[in-house]
Structure 1
Amino acid sequence: MNTLLKSVTIVNGNTKNLHLKKRDILIKNGVIDAIETNIEPTGKTKVIDIKNLHVSIGWFDSGVSFGEPGYEERETIENGLLTAAKSGFTDIILNTSSHPTPDSSSDIVYLKNAAKEQLTNLHPLGNLTVKGEGEILAELYDMQNAGAKGFYDFKHPMSNANLLKIALQYAQNFGGLVFSFPLDKSISGKGIVNEGITSTKLGLKGIPALAEELQVARDLFILEYTGGKLFIPTISTANSVKLIADAKKKGLQIFCSVAAHNLLITDDALEDFDTQYKVMPPLRTAADVKALQKGVKNGTIDLVTSDHTPLNVELKHVEFDNADFGSIGLESIFGILNNLLGFEESVLLLTKGRSIFGMEEINLEVGQEANLTLFTTEESFEFSEQHIISSSKNAIAIGEKMKGKVVGTIANNQLVLNN
């Protein structure tokens, strides 16, 4: 496949001399063949010439869920990876949210084989404990050898502090990355939304910020004792940002992410009891949102994730108390970030983080394999169901103002374009 990108603005932090410069880019057989001021197409070459077209290295998402195996009605691996490709992502980390959950090397091999020959690369996580039940450590070393990029009982907090300690000590022997979801269940109880003025007014059981922060503080104490690498996914409170910033100053190998919707939407959105806004961690206050945005800008928060969690319709179209937590987000994350931060900062966030998971960083240079995301930056629109590619439609971003659109992606000698 030969592809010529005409007059594209390169957004590339790695090669400063090309950053924000307009160039033609020729790709031959999946490799960047030339980057020049003007390149004329020859032979069978697909030419992409679109107004305001920008290009960066392919985007990366550290927290994506599909359904397969077990919940194929929510999302298959094939359609999930197509959704990721059309949303600009050439690499995604797959959460342990399937049934059965992946807690052995054979499960990891199955997931990798199911994703072969797709444009978007799937990098699976393995369970930290057997069946994600928090009682016995899973086959961490074997799973890492099979291709697991870390170990996570998806959205299930590790209540056994000693088991987390042992996991961190053991995983150091092979450079394993241990995840710990930030929630103390003994504090959160049966809460379903942020504890505060809104939860009181609506009569909904609240989850205090303390439930997250106690768990974060505990995990950081354990990390300081054991050493190793710890990833805390989807933090949501101002104090969590402060705790992690302090830990980083101590030199601990601590990484964290935030869900894009927690950077944008507050718990005021719950006024209409719309179950699309029922997510975990919950939407927090304006003060928390401001602190999270600051944490992203100053680097305390390493990654912004879509926290893409497809759910079949009957799990959302019920009373608020009975609805499941979760929202899809691959299709909307760029529009949210670009509107909040501008395209340069957004692209920086969407392209960083591969090294945390032991993956090679990629470059936009002649001779390198083409791993690229194509996008525009100026078009404003309101996100609606017509923009959803996922099989499931549980999107928290419906009705939100967006800026910029993904045009397509190039990777693995394949090209996927949005219509």
Structure 2
Amino acid sequence: MKLIIRDAKIIDSQSPFHNKTVDILIVDGLIEKIGTSLPNSEAVEELKFDNLHVSQGWFDSSVSLGEPGFEDRETISNGLSTAAKSGFTAIALQPNSYPIIDNQSQVNFVLNKASGFATQLYPIGALTKESAGKDMAELYDMKKAGAIAFGDYNKSLDNANLLKIALQYVQDFDGLTIAFSQDENIKGNGVANEGIVSTRLGLKGNPNLAEELQIARNLFLLEYTGGKLHIPTVSTKKSVQLIKDAKSNGLNISCSVAVHHLVLTDEKLEGFDTRFKVSPPLRTDSDRKALLKGIKDGTIDMITSDHNPIDIEHKKMEFDGAKNGTIGLESAFGALMTVLPLELVIDKLTSGKARFGIEIQTINEGSKANITLFNPKSKSIFTKANILSKSKNSAFLGTEIQGKVHGILNQGQLILA
């Protein structure tokens, strides 16, 4: 494949062409030449869009797809196609399928299913067998098969000793442990952030304390064991401060935040719309602003869509009984552009690769073409027509977004939205 991308502004702080508007010649999946007004004597295909910007390919550190077992929610094939058209050249797949991805054969299964797609899939192996929180899964075997980290999706490990052993064990092969942090006893039957809104609506509350206590415990364990830990989808002001303090004390800790926690608050629950039922729950505007501050000061390392397709039978029901989760790949960039500056959005959509051990390709001559193409200025309303996922449970339906993703170039393939 030969392709010239015309008049593209490069947003890549690691590239010598950062913030420059140039032409990019791609030959057989490699960036062969970058410059202005590149000649096209061989009638090579050209790609040009208004206000075109390009960056390193984006990475999402938390994506659920369903397959195997829940293909009615999403398949790996359609999920990777959706990710590509949403700007992501790589995703980390959560293990919450059926069966759970807790052994080498399950890792091999999803990798084989994902072979040949432009968007690369990196499996997260379950930390415990069947994500049941009782016995440690086959971590080393999964690592050898291709798992990039280990964690039980949206399940907090009550057994502190098991997490301690896991943190110690994975150091032998430089493994990354993921610890979703929520004290289930304090959460109880809570379905919404405990506060003014939940009280007014009569919904059982899930307090900030449930998250913060568990984060504090997990940080103490990390301090004791060494190794490295990732805390996904933090949602409270105090959580950000705890992680900031841990980093200043030299702990090898990283964390992510979900797009919806940066943009939406628990005020959205006024209509009892289950599209806004997520885990952790949407918090207050004070928490939201603290999360944005944590992004800006570097405490929060990466942003995830926390894409979680749920079938209509488990979403269109009374609030207490509905499953947690929102899809988020399609709306991630556009929603983030309404609350953060462009360069910071790109940084937080790409910086997770280093933490998860994924090869980084800067936009430079001689590099592999791993590129996302987008226009950061275009404004629109996010509608069902924008949803490419099989499930339609988006918390951003009807929301104004900024920016348009044109697609990706990766693995020698050009995928356009």
TM-score range, shorter chain: over 0.9
Structure 2 residue aligned with 1:182: 181
**Cα distance in 2 for residues equivalent to 1:398 and 1:43:** 45
Structure 2 residue aligned with 1:234: 233
1:7–1:22 contact (8 Å) kept in structure 2:
yes
Deviation at 1:278, TM superposition (A): 0.3
2:192–2:203 contact (8 Å) kept in structure 1:
yes
Match of 1:127, as an amino acid?
A
Structure 2 residue aligned with 1:347: 346
Structure 2 residue aligned with 1:55: 54
Once the two structures are aligned, what percentage of the paired residues are identical? 51
Structure 1 range deviating more: 339-348 or 212-221: 339-348
1:168–1:227 contact (8 Å) kept in structure 2:
yes
**Cα distance in 2 for residues equivalent to 1:239 and 1:342:** 24
2:128–2:137 contact (8 Å) kept in structure 1:
yes
Structure 2 residue aligned with 1:251: 250
Structure 2 residue aligned with 1:2: 2
Structure 2 residue aligned with 1:358: 357
The alignment status of 1:12 with 2:12, answered yes or no, reads yes
Q: After superposition, what is the alpha-carbon deviation per residue over 1:54-94, rounded to whole angstroms, capped at 9, x for unaligned?
A: 11110111011101000001110010000000000001111
TM-score by length of 2: 0.99
Please tell me the root mean square deviation across aligned C-alpha atoms, in Å.
0.9
Deviation at 1:46, TM superposition (A): 2.0
Structure 2 residue aligned with 1:369: 368
Structure 2 residue aligned with 1:268: 267
The alignment status of 1:224 with 2:226, answered yes or no, reads no
Deviation at 1:153, TM superposition (A): 0.7
**Cα distance in 2 for residues equivalent to 1:116 and 1:351:** 22
Structure 2 residue aligned with 1:282: 281
Deviation at 1:27, TM superposition (A): 0.5
Structure 2 residue aligned with 1:212: 211
**Cα distance in 1 for residues equivalent to 2:39 and 2:57:** 25
**Cα distance in 2 for residues equivalent to 1:358 and 1:14:** 17
1:380–1:402 contact (8 Å) kept in structure 2:
yes
**Cα distance in 2 for residues equivalent to 1:311 and 1:323:** 10
1:2–1:44 contact (8 Å) kept in structure 2:
no
2:361–2:369 contact (8 Å) kept in structure 1:
no
Structure 1: runs of 5+ lacking an equivalent? none
Decide whether aligned partners of structure 1 residues 194 and 379 sit closer, same or farther in structure 2, where only a CA change above 3 A counts: same
**Cα distance in 2 for residues equivalent to 1:12 and 1:228:** 30
Alignment of 1:71-150 (within 5 A): 71-150=70-149
Structure 2 residue aligned with 1:397: 396
Deviation at 1:22, TM superposition (A): 0.9
Match of 1:4, as an amino acid?
I
Decide whether aligned partners of structure 1 residues 51 and 133 sit closer, same or farther in structure 2, where only a CA change above 3 A counts: same
Structure 1 residue aligned with 2:299: 300
Structure 1 range deviating more: 168-177 or 338-347: 338-347
**Cα distance in 1 for residues equivalent to 2:99 and 2:126:** 11
**Cα distance in 2 for residues equivalent to 1:272 and 1:146:** 45
2:374–2:406 contact (8 Å) kept in structure 1:
yes
**Cα distance in 1 for residues equivalent to 2:391 and 2:141:** 33
**Cα distance in 2 for residues equivalent to 1:45 and 1:122:** 30
**Cα distance in 2 for residues equivalent to 1:327 and 1:390:** 11
Structure 2 residue matching 1:296: 3-state secondary structure: helix
**Cα distance in 1 for residues equivalent to 2:304 and 2:196:** 27
Structure 2 residue aligned with 1:193: 192
Deviation at 1:109, TM superposition (A): 1.0
Match of 1:120, as an amino acid?
T
Deviation at 1:44, TM superposition (A): 5.4
Match of 1:53, as an amino acid?
L
**Cα distance in 2 for residues equivalent to 1:104 and 1:95:** 13
Q: After superposition, what is the alpha-carbon deviation per residue over 1:255-275, rounded to whole angstroms, capped at 9, x for unaligned?
A: 110100000111011000011
Q: After superposition, what is the alpha-carbon deviation per residue over 1:231-250, rounded to whole angstroms, capped at 9, x for unaligned?
A: 11101000000000000011
Structure 1 residue matching 2:3: 3-state secondary structure: strand
Structure 2 residue matching 1:52: 3-state secondary structure: coil
Structure 1 residue aligned with 2:21: 22
**Cα distance in 2 for residues equivalent to 1:345 and 1:355:** 16
Deviation at 1:41, TM superposition (A): 2.6
Deviation at 1:340, TM superposition (A): 1.1
**Cα distance in 1 for residues equivalent to 2:154 and 2:371:** 31
Structure 2 residue aligned with 1:319: 318
2:17–2:364 contact (8 Å) kept in structure 1:
no
Structure 2 residue aligned with 1:408: 407
Aligned length: 417
**Cα distance in 1 for residues equivalent to 2:40 and 2:342:** 29
**Cα distance in 1 for residues equivalent to 2:180 and 2:377:** 36
Structure 2 residue aligned with 1:334: 333
**Cα distance in 2 for residues equivalent to 1:56 and 1:176:** 28
**Cα distance in 1 for residues equivalent to 2:75 and 2:195:** 37
Deviation at 1:107, TM superposition (A): 1.0
2:93–2:122 contact (8 Å) kept in structure 1:
yes
**Cα distance in 2 for residues equivalent to 1:45 and 1:139:** 49
Deviation at 1:42, TM superposition (A): 3.8
Q: After superposition, what is the alpha-carbon deviation per residue over 1:155-193, rounded to whole angstroms, capped at 9, x for unaligned?
A: 111000110111111111111111111100010001101
Structure 2 residue matching 1:339: 3-state secondary structure: coil
**Cα distance in 2 for residues equivalent to 1:354 and 1:311:** 27
**Cα distance in 2 for residues equivalent to 1:244 and 1:22:** 38
Match of 2:107, as an amino acid?
I
